[in-house]
Amino acid sequence: MKQSTDTILMIEPTNFCYNPDAAETNKFQRQAEGLSTAEVQARALEEFRQMVQQLQEIGVTVNVIQDVENSCTPDSIFPNNWFSTHQTGQLVTYPMAPVNRRGERRQDVIDFLTQKYGFTQHLQLEHFEDQPEPRFLEGTGSMILDRVNKLAYAALSPRTEMEPLLEFCNKLKYKPVTFSAYGPTGELIYHTNVMMCLGSTFAVIGMDVVAPEDRQKLRQQLESTGKEIIELSAAQTHHSFAGNMLQLQNKSGESILVMSQAAYTSLTAEQLAKLRKHNNHLLYFPIHLIEQCGGGSVRCMIAEIFKPAQV
């Protein structure tokens, strides 16, 4: 098993905009004042395409799939919330809290991945949406997976709940590591990946936003797997998406840590020096409009493709 991949999937938006349904639990979202809906989409598309180009130029394989025309899914640019792939041959789809995000789950995308990369099992967790009391787990937004040590780190929230988490862990043989973390208005942070990133040899984490009673447990768990912990401040986590990073590889086997320009410029010289020890490249993208309206950043835009081991 490996922690990072050189192959990803990204969804090119056709109707990106502020989503009030998602904003109920995502306090990182803000309206783009003074811009029309068409202008928001145009800017988001420009930011998206520039990011794809930079990733391809550094040697990452990017599968780009366009959202459906006149989409009713304004957050489709964040596909990591609805599916994940695994070297065991499993492809998992997830229960989504905002009702208008559930349309992001597309059978044609699942078919494309299955046919191109040979996934052999589709594990569907969206049945949790249909329970009398629905429960939610939004993919690798909700969980930070230590794929080598089979650990699923999860900050519990209204969009990251225990029941589907335990089913995921049972089916894929992961151990859950749960904790509480708090967002900019004191709410439970909606997705773990806005405050935590795991690389092969390091962990970036906004420890200041973790509940005090959970910090020592979390620190010990990370250290027990040999990760160097690189801590973020609450301000970096809440206001610059500094926790929303992802380690990738390129075709040459070099490690690349990707993040937004806002995240990169928020980091101190000491933090950057530590990150460079663990990565061949630090790559950052100006996606200010996507961050503002979508309440997500670079990591959210990337669905990792971990090809089945036999492929």
Residue 174 has a pLDDT of: 98
* Tokens 């811009």 found at: 35
Residue 7, C-beta contacts closer than 8 angstroms, at least 6 positions apart: 60, 61, 63, 304, 305, 307
Q: What domain range is 32 assigned to?
A: 7-304
Query: Is 311 inside a domain boundary?
Result: no
Query: Is 161 inside a domain boundary?
Result: yes
Query: Is 2 inside a domain boundary?
Result: no
3 state DSSP class of 231: strand
123-160 tens-digit pLDDT = 999 999 999 999 999 999 999 999 999 999 999 999 99
Does residue 307 register a pLDDT over 90? yes
Residue 8 β-bridge partners = 62, 304
Does residue 21 register a pLDDT over 80? no
* Residue type at position 173: K
Quickly count: other Cβ atoms within 10 Å of residue 42's Cβ: 14
Q: Which of the pair, 209 or 36, is modelled with greater confidence?
A: 209
Residue 30 has a pLDDT of: 55
pTM, full prediction = 0.94
Burial class of residue 261 (count of CB atoms within 10 Å of its CB; 0-12, 13-18, 19+): middle
Quickly count: other Cβ atoms within 10 Å of residue 98's Cβ: 22
**Token digits of residue 256:** 């690349």
- Average pLDDT, stretch 81-108? 96
Query: Is 162 inside a domain boundary?
Result: yes
Q: Which of the pair, 25 or 261, is modelled with greater confidence?
A: 261
174-210 tens-digit pLDDT = 999 999 999 988 999 999 999 999 999 999 999 999 9
Phi, psi of 121 (to 5 degrees): -140, 130
If one counts the domains in the chain, the total is 1
Does residue 283 register a pLDDT over 50? yes
Q: Which of 58, 99, 79, 62 lies closest to 16 in space, CA to CA?
A: 79
- Average pLDDT, stretch 78-96? 97
Query: Is 310 inside a domain boundary?
Result: no
Query: Is 25 inside a domain boundary?
Result: yes
CATH of the domain at 275: 3.75.10.10
Between 69-83, 107-121, 199-213, the lowest mean confidence (pLDDT) is in: 69-83
Strands of 83-85's sheet in order across: 83-85, 90-93, 121-124
Average pLDDT of every residue of the chain? 93
Q: What DSSP letter does each residue of 187-230 carry, written as one string?
A: SBPS-GGGTEEE-SSEEEE-GGGB-HHHHHHHHHHHHHTTPEEE
Percent of the chain with pLDDT over 70: 94
3 state DSSP class of 55: helix
